[in-house]
Structures are given as C-alpha cells and as structure tokens.
Structure 1
Amino acid sequence: MMKKIGLYALLIILIQVPCLADEKEQTYDICIYGGTSAGVAAAYTAAKAGKSVVLIEPGQLLGGMSSGGLGQTDIGNKYVVRGLALDFYRKIGKHYGTFEQWIFEPKVAAAIFNQYMEQCDADVYYGQVLLNVSKAGTVIREIQLQSTEKLGEPSMTIRARIFMDCSYEGDLMAKAGVSYHVGREDNKVYGETLNGVQLLEGHQLPDSIDPYVVRGDPASGLLWGIQESELLPKGTGDKKIQAYNYRITLTNVPENRIAIAKPDHYDPERYELLRRQKEKQPWKALRDVFIWSHMPNGKTDINNRNGFSTDMIGMNWEYPEADYARRQEIIKAHEDYTKGLLYFVGNDPSVPQVIRDEMRQWGYPKDEYVNHNHWSPQLYIREARRMVGELVMTQHHCQGREVVTDAVGYAAYTMDSHNCDRLVVNGMVKNEGNVEVGGFPPFPISYRAIVPKRNEVTNLLVPVCLSASHIAFGSIRMEPVFMVLGQSAAIAACLAIDQDIDVQEVAVSELQEILEENPKADHRQPDVLISTTDSHAVQLTGTWEKGSSGGYGHSYLEANSKTGVSTAKFVAALLPAGNYDIYTYFPRTAESAPQFDYTVYNGKTTVKKQLDLSGVEIKGQTSSTWVPLGRYSVTGGEAPAFVEISTAGAEGVVAANAMLFVPVDDQQ
C-alpha cells in the first residue's frame, strides 16, 4: 500500500513511488475525498481512532483556503473554534510565539497541515480526481479515480466502508446520487428574507456609471465584466453563484519579492469599469481598491473591496457542475484576471502615480507556493453545490428562530454572500447579490445537515458542501467551522463502522461525548473552560450586567467599578492536578478598565495579582482575545482551584466572560 506522499517532493515521487496503475484496487475503512482543512481534520481524527484512512486530493496542496491565502481568518466568534481546529490555530500561534494566532502566512499553514498527516497513519494521494462512483442500493461500494495527468483513464479504485466528501465542490456527493442545490433558493422555499436576488449597497458601484463601451451608445456593447442579465424581483431564486477570487499573497520585503509582470492574456480594457469607478470615487491609496490585510513577515492577504476589485463577478456560474478540464479553464481565467488587475493598478497611466508607486512596492513572495510559480493553486470556491440532506440549515437557524439539538459544531459569522451578478439597472452598472447581515450569537449546526437523506446514501458524510440554504451557508462556510465539521464527521464515521450502522443512525450524544473527552483527537488532555454561562461554576458578588458585544460565546458579564466592588469567582471543581497556563477572555470596549485585580487559588496557596490590559494587542477580526494570567501548579487539594476577578483597583468596566486552563504537559 502506498504511504503518504510529501507535498514538496514531487520530483522524488516520480522516481521512487510505484506507478498508480500497479495498484488498481485498495480497501480502507474510510475514504476522504478533498484535502481541504476539513479533509485533513477528518483524516487525522479517523486515523488516530485506529481506522485505516485514505485522503484523496485532486491538487498538490493540503488545507484548501487555509493554506491557499486566506490568512486573515474569518471567525465571527472564537467560541465556534474547537477541537482540532483550535489546535491548528494554537500551532500557528506557537510558530509565531503567541498563544493562538489567526493571521498567518500560507506556507506556515501548509506545513502544519502536512505535519498532521505525517503524524498519523493515513495514506494521501495527490493529483487524483473522481471519475466514477459505484453503489449497491444506498451504499457506496467504491470510487474510481483518474489522474489529472491522464483525464478519462482510470488510475485506481478505492473501496471503503464509509466515504466522506470534504471537497469544496461536492463531486463525490453528486456522483453518489445525493440531492443538492446550486445557486440561490427563492425566499419562498424556506420562508427566508435574505436569499435570492438582492440589490443592496455592499461592495456596490456608485450611481451613474455608464455600462457601454462607447459611453451613451448601447450599440457599442457592454463593457467587459457586465452580464446581459435582467434584474428579477428581490428574493427570486436563480442558479447564479457568489463570486470567486484569489486571496492574494504579496510581499514588500525586497529580498523576497518577485516583481509583478504583465500576465498571460493581459487586456487593460477589462479594467475600464475600474477606471470609471475611480472617476466617481477617487483613490487615495491601495486600500481604496483592495481589502489590504497585512500578514506576518511583510506579506498580505488581499481581498475584494468596493464595486470592482478581485471578485470576478459572474464568471463562475459554470464552475460547480463543470468537469475538471473546464474548471481548470475557469481557474486560469481568474488567475489571469487577478494578475492583470495587479499589473493594471501598478502600471496603467490612468492610475494616479502615487498609487502606481505604492503598488510597485509589492510583489510575489519567493518563499510561498514554490511549486506553483509563487501563486496560490487554490481559487476561493466560496460556494458550489450544497447538499439537500436530512435537515437544511436556514436563515432561521442563524438568527435563532429555530435551534437544533443535535449539534456537531457551531457557526457565528455574518450571513455573508459576495455579489453574484453585474448588470445594467436603470441605464447604469450595478452589482447584485452582496449580503452582510450579522448581529446574532453562535448557533448550532445539526448533524442531520452533514448526512444525506436516508433513501439516497447511507455511508457518506458531507461536512463542507453541507445541507444549508445559500444564505445560511454564507454564515457557516468558514474554514474553522469546516475543520470542526470534518472532525465531527470522522467521529461519526468511526461510530458507524464500530456499530455497523448507517451514518443516519449514529447517536449524536455519543459523538458529542467523544468530542468533549478527546477534542484533540489524539488523547492529549483537554483544556478546561469555565464561562459565565456555567452558573454552577461561577460565583458572583456585587453588580454584574450583560455585556454589549465582542465576548466569547453567547454572552458575558461586566461590572463597573463606579458601582462598588464586584467579584466573579470561576471555580474549577474538576480540574486534575498538574501544571496549567491560565487565561481570561478580554472583550475590549471603550469603557474597559486598563487593569483589574485577580486571585488564583491552586488548591493549596493563594496568589493575588493585578492584570495590566493597557498593552494588550488584539489582532484579527474580533475585538477580543485571551489574556494570560500566568502558569500555575494545581495541587488537587480538598478545596477546588479557582480564579477570582474583581473591580477592586480598577477604573472602568471589568468583564467576566470565560476562564481557560490549558494543561502545559499536553501542549503541542
């Protein structure tokens, strides 16, 4: 049986690894299709549980978007990041010398994903694409693969008891005969308000931009990038897909920089809409054209901004159901467009000189994507197929009007859709489809949303192209959540194998218990988390009120020193003896006190200190972070350990949110 293939050893592979044609058939407990972050989490979890596992990745990069340029992690609320997903961001943090890190370079993420696979007994095949699926009734018996080098010719057959589709596209799901949806449902389908056609103001073009090649002359044709579409009534369903783009990694470090050259098929007229947008909205800096997020070591994660930017609106509608060859054409078109946009901004005479000069300070990093010409091989497939499974997650679940009780993960991000179309409305160019609606706490994701209907397939799990409406998927579709769902799906697969049952019959309570007892999948000691929602574990005195925003989880408490002394004691009654790093969660607001007093009791001695918050730096999308209180040895004495925070010595508002005990000996 062929063992793991190293990501950066392609030349060695060609010399040392037997031809796949010599290994026609292989059998495993679990076959995972798609080496995304979810796929890696699933493979590691199942392999550590003792199952024979194979991970199939059509490309050459593990981790999907998490290693493909999306280094500015979309979270919503850190409460949703659990298990191996949290372990991943802790490993990122260790690399950069912090506790947890949500902003990172692609090569660092790729190395960690490869490390997971090196540390477990799972096989990995690269450059293999699904060709056929064979079923007996509702059971997938085997899948047939084809090499990306020889499309149409079977390269190998994989048999397994359980299959998982962890791809962004849902190809295995589709070929297995699972119901799915492409595009936006009509609002009437699930009684939603944010699905279907939405002509809103986010990432919108300003009014009065002429859409025609010759201004004012419809006979001259539409400018590049504008579709010949008709604006349908708000909420109308269609097959249009929210725009894809590249999350672009550049660097301004001269010794690591490759100049941005004129790319293939460059045509400056493709960016005429950008010129016309600039006339209405003059640029002062690159940030007027892009969301320009800084990564460590002088790098970027660049994303779409305003009406015309890195999103290639309307050019991906074929992608979800296209074959591999056609998808590669669409991907190449996105690459050419994006590289052309960067070159245009840095060189076109219509761009202000100050912007061109700023753009030329940046280039492609020599140390990123070294086997792919320093450009990400992963296009951001924000949405493709979505399963219609045992339960469909909808806007109602996001906003708490419906709450599931069989949770296998949580989501918390804004209900987010990028634009789906660019068309002419009342004689001017408009983008359509952008939605950004938040303001809700974390919500549970149902196990029934990652399994197909029972009468379709009974040995398949789908944690990425899961069962959700377009707008609910817009909240769920974040990389940390995909990792959590991938781990949950792997546990479900193991339970189905051990108990010889269909995936639909797995007891979610057993799955949840395993996640709680073994969150890191490899039996390292779990963290102990105590939050103010655990009323039995938190003792309050004084006056505490519900916090406004930015906390960990569903809610938190805060007390103002002006109202007298208030205390919150977090009692760790079940904390085993050992050494722990203790952290308190700090949701910063304008009224936050710059310091407060706290007491730590380790079961034997009491230590009183003051926490200085004035120098705490909060990076990423949230306004909150874990703050260390120090390392303590817990004795496991007769009285339980606790941490008490107090408004004594504070001037302002003190937050009582959550306390975290991280075992030192089990950190990796």
Structure 2
Amino acid sequence: MRNSRLNHWFKNFQLPAALLLAGTSSMAMAQVQPHVYDHQYDLVVYGATPSGISAAVEAARHDLHVAIIEPGAHIGGMMAGGLSRTDTGNKIVIGGIAREFFERVGARYGQPIEWNFEPHVASAVFDQMLRDAHVDIYMNKPILEQGGVQKQGQTILALATADNQLFRAKVFIDATYEGTLMGASGVSYTWGRESENKYGEGLAGYRVADQSGPSRDNFTTQVSPYAANGTLLPGVQSSPDEKLGDFDGKIQAYGFRLCITQRDDNKLPFPKPVNYQPADYALLARQLEALTVAHGHAPDLGELVSLGALPNDKFDVNDLGAISTDDLGSSWRYPAANAAQRATIWQAHYDYEAGFFYFLGHDPSVPVSLRNEVNSYGLAKDEFIANHGWPWQLYVRESRRMLGEYILTERDLENDPVIDRSKTDAIGLGSYAMDMHNVERIPLSNGLVQNEGGTYVPVKAYQIPYRSLLPMPSETDNLLVTVCLSASHVAYASLRMEPQYMIVGQAAGLAATFAVHGDTTVYQIPLAAMQAQLKTEHAVLDIPGTTAQ
C-alpha cells in the first residue's frame, strides 16, 4: 500500500520534546581535514533556489567573489520546478531583483513583465542572471552529513561537500528549503505548529476542521473514511488526541506542481507508478461518487485540481478541493529527515500524485467523461526533459524554521493596534495571505471524514525585519538564513512565497557585501546605509497600506 516504505521509520521516529535543535558538535566543530579542492570566496550561498540566486547575484554585482553551491542537479528551486503561477499577493511590494526577474521573463515573451511562465524559461533566466553577475556555480554538491561545517567559536570557517571539496568564505547564506546549512552550523530551529498560547496566535496549532473558521479545500459532501472491515482507508490519518489550538509537530502537505498540456504534439501520458495500487484511491472514488450525486453530473478535472493557465497552451497544476495533488500526512517527517529519508519521501509523493492522475484516467470507478478529460491532458514533454516531464523539485511548503533574533508571528502580519508593525530594520515586504494547506485527513465522531489544518486569511502588507534572517549571535556571527527564516508556523504561511524569498535573498546578499567590505559581522553592518542602497535598487521597504488581493 502507498507509503509502506515510510511506515517503519515514521513509527519509530520520535519528535524532540521541544522541537528545538542545534547542529551537533561533530558537525559544527569538526577539525579541518585535507580536501582535494580548497576554494576561497567572499560569500558562499548554499542552495540555488530563487532566494539563493538573488543573494548571489546581488553580492556579485557589488564586487564580491561569490560561489553558489547547489546540492542537486538543477537551479531555480520551485520557480523553475513547476511553480509557474506566481503567488504575488500585492504586486506593489515586489521590487528589486525579484521584480527584475519577472521583467526578464516578460522580455522572453515580448511583454514588459510576466508573472506566469513556463518552467524552462524561469531556469534560463536564472542561469543568465548568475552568469551575467559572474557567480561561480557548483552543482550536485551536498554538504557532508557529518563534519560538513567547520567553525571556530561563533564563526563558520568553511563548508565541506560530499565530493571532498572545501569552500571557505567570510560570510555564508543558507537559501535551501530544508535549512541544511543552518542546522549543520549549530543554529537553533523548530518545525511544526506552535500552540495558540506560544505567541498569542489565533490561527496556531491543531485546527480541527469543523471548528477552525476560515478553511480551504475541504469536503463539501458526506463521505465515510472507513473500509468494510472498519479500518481507515488509505490517505486518512487516525484522529489525534488534540484540542483546538494545541501544539504538534505536523506541517502542511507537499506535492508537485505539474506542467501539463492538451497539445498532442507536446504531451506525454501521465505515468503509472511502479507501486500503483488502485485501492489507495478508494476514498477518492467515494468522493467522486458523492460529488456526482450532489451535482447531478460527474465532476470535471477543474473541480479536482487547480489549472493555472501558462503561455504556449500549458497549465500549472495545484491542489484544489478535498482530495487532490497534496499528499496529506507524508510531509511530517521531512524536516528532521536525512538525505536518504528525504529521497524516500520524494518517492512517496511521486507515487501518490502520479497514481492520482493514473487512477482518474484509467480506473473503471471514475466516470467516463472525467476519464476522457484527464486523458486529453499529459505532461508537457518539453519541460523537465531529463525527468520525462515530471518536476524534479518537490514543493516543500515549509520545513525547519530558524529561532533567530526576531520571530515573526501572526500579530506582525495583522493590523493590530497593540503592536508596532513598523520595523526600523525592514528589508522588504510581504503581502500574501496566511495560506496553510491541509495538514491531515481525519475521521470525525459522526463517522465522516474531514481535512484539518487548511486556512487562508488575507493580511495587510507587512515589513520583514533584517533580524528575522539572523541566528542568535551566540550561535554564529557570519550566517544569514533566507528561506527557513525566523517565523512561527502561522506567519511563515505568508512568508513562504517565492517573491518574498527573493526579496529576502537580495537583502542578505547586500548585507554580506557590507559585512565583507566593512570587515565586520552580519550583526554590525550599517543598517541605514543598507536600506538606502536597497531603495536605490528599487526594493520596496515601506508599507503601502493596501490589503493583499
């Protein structure tokens, strides 16, 4: 059955009591060993995500000698990996390098700016930006899982990669979705959902679906989650022993953002996974039957997935509704997993989502009209060519979150008169809604099933403080974190958008520039001068006073 390979280590995995970790001394304080290659840079950026690329380009444009190190085989993270319909929020807040990227994409389509694009176009634009800035690019270089970070006191001296290369620098930036360098450097972090009481957040913690208020993508029909023998169907988790607002270590669901088309000259059929089992989709079959009865006709594909139109007759596929492309529950162990375990989780998500489309296109329980519609689509064969049209990047919507100098919370994102939302160290703005995808699918006491954890609450434009990029100074003095930055689960649900990652990345690259040129730490840079420079580069630091759309 689906996810059986995960069950053994999932069952035996124990979450830390406080979900508070620091890199082990064997990682953070390893002795310097001889390496085949020994590189010296001003700045090393780990992770060629859009955030990492923005940081590297910004610093290189200010004459720093910069390396960007990517643990995988591709640059561009989610924006080149399938997330092609940009979560913009209020476009006014997107300036600087982030906006430059969308303008460069637009130029490829003969437009002043383009927010929605094909994955291969994003990849090409990112590659050109790095090369234009003369950033040294290193691919397929994961950090050593033991002894990967070398420190002296609070200062990171170097990181070592698995192929026996050493990268020294004055400043380091972690731009990975997983916070790999951050964790290996001895920096404190957390994951999961804080309780309501932790930071006084009304949206925090366990949000049982029939009590949580604003929610998204839930059941609108009455469906039982139980098999004939009384056991729960695949894809349904046991009802937790939690109350509304309780802390837990669970995170929102992951999935893949597929790029699909109906053009016969450019499509590949949806693949049948090796581990495909029709029984894994028994709940989906019940949902389709219930929707057909409720509506008087079979649902179409647009009721089961979000089809975001892209140039050249393509679509970006996103989760929509009660049962869709998100694989609820399979993401929970990802933040604490090692590389091999994460590969297993990647495969489990592939098996689920590929199986989801194969089931819709082939199972006899699916209405014929829906089967025919699904089979009229296919993976765009000119995208992710080396992977047969399937994205290489799993949509890691959240993983670890740093416990840094300033922890952004729900109150920072709301128009709360009790708290001063103006940040003297602002380096950018966020504006997208607090968008939490569902966390789990659970049985209710009435014998029906509901999804839990999904919330979508608009926010006012808010300032992102420089302090949220900084670890505690007692832990390290030359590291900036631009993706797994310091925020609660609720606040991170808005911060996690790629334009914001890019905005933060540019600020981090400029901070590294000031630290290197001023021969100081990232804590002692002249903030006013940095903010002034960001503004000259068309970054947006002031609150426009408008609500995100």
Give TM-score, length-normalised by structure 2.
Answer: 0.88
The alpha carbon displacement at 1:208 in A equals 3.8
Instruction: Give 3-state SS (helix, strand or coil) of 1:368's partner.
Output: coil
User: Structure 2 counterpart of 1:61, which letter?
Assistant: H
Establish whether residue 554 from structure 1 lines up as the match of residue 545 from structure 2. Answer: yes
Distance in 1 separating the partners of 2:115 and 2:314? 14
Establish whether residue 76 from structure 1 lines up as the match of residue 86 from structure 2. Answer: no
Which residue in the other structure is 1:133 paired with? Answer: 149
The alpha carbon displacement at 1:25 in A equals 1.4
Residue number among 432, 435, 449 corresponding to 2:468 in the alignment: 449
Instruction: Give 3-state SS (helix, strand or coil) of 2:142's partner.
Output: strand
Q: Percent identity?
A: 39
- 1:221-267 deviations in whole A, cap 9, x for unaligned? 21111122415111111100100011111111111111223222111
Distance in 2 separating the partners of 1:510 and 1:27? 27
Which residue in the other structure is 2:272 paired with? Answer: 262
The alpha carbon displacement at 1:555 in A equals 4.2
Distance in 1 separating the partners of 2:388 and 2:36? 31
Distance in 2 separating the partners of 1:353 and 1:518? 55
The alpha carbon displacement at 1:207 in A equals 5.5
Establish whether residue 320 from structure 1 lines up as the match of residue 335 from structure 2. Answer: yes
Distance in 2 separating the partners of 1:176 and 1:444? 27
Q: Is the 8 A contact 1:184 1:240 kept in 2?
A: yes
Establish whether residue 432 from structure 1 lines up as the match of residue 445 from structure 2. Answer: no
Q: Is the 8 A contact 2:258 2:379 kept in 1?
A: no
The alpha carbon displacement at 1:428 in A equals 2.3
Please show how residues 569-584 of structure 1 align to structure 2 within 5 Å: none
Q: What root-mean-square deviation, in Å, do the aligned CA atoms of Structure 1 and Structure 2 show?
A: 1.8
The 3 A distance-change label for structure 1 pair 22 and 181 is closer
Instruction: Give 3-state SS (helix, strand or coil) of 2:395's partner.
Output: coil
- 1:45-104 deviations in whole A, cap 9, x for unaligned? 111111111111111211111111111100110022110100011111111122111111
Q: Is the 8 A contact 1:80 1:481 kept in 2?
A: no
Equivalent pairs counted in the alignment come to 497
Distance in 2 separating the partners of 1:208 and 1:345? 20
Which residue in the other structure is 2:8 paired with? Answer: none
User: Structure 2 counterpart of 1:141, which letter?
Assistant: L
Residue number among 166, 169, 173 corresponding to 1:157 in the alignment: 166
Mean CA deviation greater in 121-130 or 397-406: 397-406
Give TM-score, length-normalised by structure 1.
Answer: 0.72
Which residue in the other structure is 2:251 paired with? Answer: 241
The 3 A distance-change label for structure 1 pair 100 and 231 is farther
Distance in 1 separating the partners of 2:460 and 2:226? 44
Runs of 5+ consecutive residues of structure 2 not aligned to the other structure: 1-33, 210-214, 293-297
Establish whether residue 353 from structure 1 lines up as the match of residue 368 from structure 2. Answer: yes
User: Structure 2 counterpart of 1:165, which letter?
Assistant: D
Distance in 1 separating the partners of 2:533 and 2:235? 49
User: Structure 2 counterpart of 1:425, which letter?
Assistant: L
Please show how residues 156-555 of structure 1 align to structure 2 within 5 Å: 156-200=165-209, 201-206=215-220, 208-214=222-228, 217-218=229-230, 221-282=231-292, 283-401=298-416, 402=419, 403=421, 404-426=423-445, 427-438=447-458, 440-519=459-538, 553-555=544-546
Q: Is the 8 A contact 2:45 2:172 kept in 1?
A: yes
- 1:504-552 deviations in whole A, cap 9, x for unaligned? 22222111111112349xxxxxxxx9xxx9xxxxxxxxxxxxxxxxxx9
Distance in 1 separating the partners of 2:35 and 2:159? 17
- 1:247-296 deviations in whole A, cap 9, x for unaligned? 11111111111122322211111111111112222243111111111111
The alpha carbon displacement at 1:23 in A equals 4.2
Distance in 1 separating the partners of 2:173 and 2:518? 18
Instruction: Give 3-state SS (helix, strand or coil) of 2:136's partner.
Output: strand
Q: Which runs of 4+ in 1 moved over 3 A?
A: none
User: Structure 2 counterpart of 1:459, which letter?
Assistant: N
More strand per residue: 1
More helix per residue: 2
Larger radius of gyration: 1
Distance in 2 separating the partners of 1:223 and 1:333? 17
Instruction: Give 3-state SS (helix, strand or coil) of 1:129's partner.
Output: coil
Distance in 2 separating the partners of 1:29 and 1:395? 36
Distance in 2 separating the partners of 1:497 and 1:343? 53
Distance in 2 separating the partners of 1:45 and 1:23? 30
Higher relative contact order structure (alpha carbons within 8 Å, sequence separation ≥ 6): 2
Distance in 2 separating the partners of 1:160 and 1:143? 9
Runs of 5+ consecutive residues of structure 1 not aligned to the other structure: 1-20, 148-154, 521-528, 534-551, 557-620, 623-668
Which residue in the other structure is 2:4 paired with? Answer: none
Which residue in the other structure is 2:14 paired with? Answer: none
